[in-house]
Structure formats: structure tokens, C-alpha cells
């Protein structure tokens, strides 16, 4: 399918597997999907947010990760997201997300194609970023006051 475009952003070097990007590019070439994939590497935040805004969905296929800021960005922008079912992603409670089994690339590909074709759609999101920020803003002063009180007894 030549009409689907997937854009990769992020660090292109990883000391744990220095050959990773070369291997990825080799797989892309072997499968003839060069016209579908762009690997941009690290890009300025402003450009990243622009790509998110213009996308059909954000894909976060991580096998392991801390709290994912890209997931939070997508939530705050009411952007649909396809993400692996790792615990931290489930914990982030993405209302407008579709989860796939973390190592099941065939399931991910099927979801991507069905989303592109409009066969499946994302749940609606009622996530209100400003409301959540205000809620956390009210919690933090109480949290810090409690810590201060306990450490200064």
C-alpha cells in the first residue's frame, strides 16, 4: 500500500544496539516500503507537535518505557493514538487509544490499516488538559506541605 505514510522520530543511536537503525533500514528496503516510511531522527519539538497535529494517529509501540510524554502530548491534543499494551501505557489511561499486544507487529499492522481505511475508529476522549493541570496544581501544594511537615518534625 503506497498511500500509508509512517514517520519515525527520535534518537537514531542506541549504545545497546548500535546496528539497530541500519537493520531497520535494511528491513524497510527488503520489504519495498521505502515510499511509506520516513525516518527523521531527532527533530525540534515544534516540528514534532506539528506532525502530531497533522497525523491521523500517533503510534507508540514501546516494549518498555517510563511515563511516555508522547502519549501525554497526544492526549492533550485530542489526537488518536495506537499504543502497545505495556503497563505504563495502560496506566496512562488513554481514552482515545487503541491498544495492541506489545510484541504483535501483525496486530499493529492490521490496526494501522483498518484505521487508515476508516474500518475502525477511536473512542471519543473527554480528556481536558487544562482541567487536569489545575487538578494536579491543587494536589502538589498539599503534597509538598505534607512532605515538609514530615521532614521538619
The predicted model scores a pTM of 0.76
Q: Is the pLDDT of residue 82 over 60?
A: yes
In this predicted structure, what is the pLDDT of residue 93?
A: 86
Quote the cell numbers at residue 52: 502530531
In this predicted structure, what is the pLDDT of residue 117?
A: 92
Residues 6+ apart with CB under 8 A from 68: 60, 62, 83, 88, 89, 92
Q: Select from 83, 49, 48, 53 the least CA-distant residue to 68.
A: 83
Note the pLDDT tens digit of each residue in 99-142.
999 999 999 999 999 999 999 888 776 666 567 556 656 655 55
In this predicted structure, what is the pLDDT of residue 138?
A: 62
**Kindly report the CA angle at 68 between 65 and 71, in degrees rounded to 5?**
135
Amino acid at each position: 500500500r503506497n498511500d500509508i505514510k509512517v514517520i519515525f522520530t527520535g534518537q537514531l543511536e542506541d549504545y545497546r544496539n548500535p546496528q539497530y537503525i541500519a537493520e531497520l533500514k535494511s528491513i524497510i528496503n527488503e520489504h519495498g516500503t521505502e515510499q511509506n516510511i520516513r525516518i527523521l531522527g531527532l527533530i525540534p519539538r515544534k516540528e514534532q507537535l506539528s506532525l502530531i497535529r497533522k497525523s491521523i494517529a500517533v503510534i507508540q509501540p514501546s516494549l518498555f518505557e517510563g511515563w511516555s510524554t508522547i502519549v501525554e502530548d497526544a492526549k492533550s491534543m485530542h489526537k488518536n493514538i495506537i499504543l502497545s499494551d505495556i503497563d505504563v501505557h495502560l496506566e496512562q489511561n488513554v481514552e482515545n487509544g487503541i491498544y495492541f499486544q506489545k510484541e504483535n507487529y501483525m496486530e499493529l499492522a492490521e490496526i494501522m490499516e483498518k484505521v487508515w481505511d476508516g474500518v475502525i475508529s477511536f473512542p471519543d476522549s473527554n480528556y481536558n488538559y487544562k482541567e487536569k493541570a489545575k487538578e494536579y496544581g491543587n494536589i502538589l501544594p498539599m503534597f509538598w506541605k505534607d512532605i515538609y511537615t514530615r521532614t521538619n518534625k
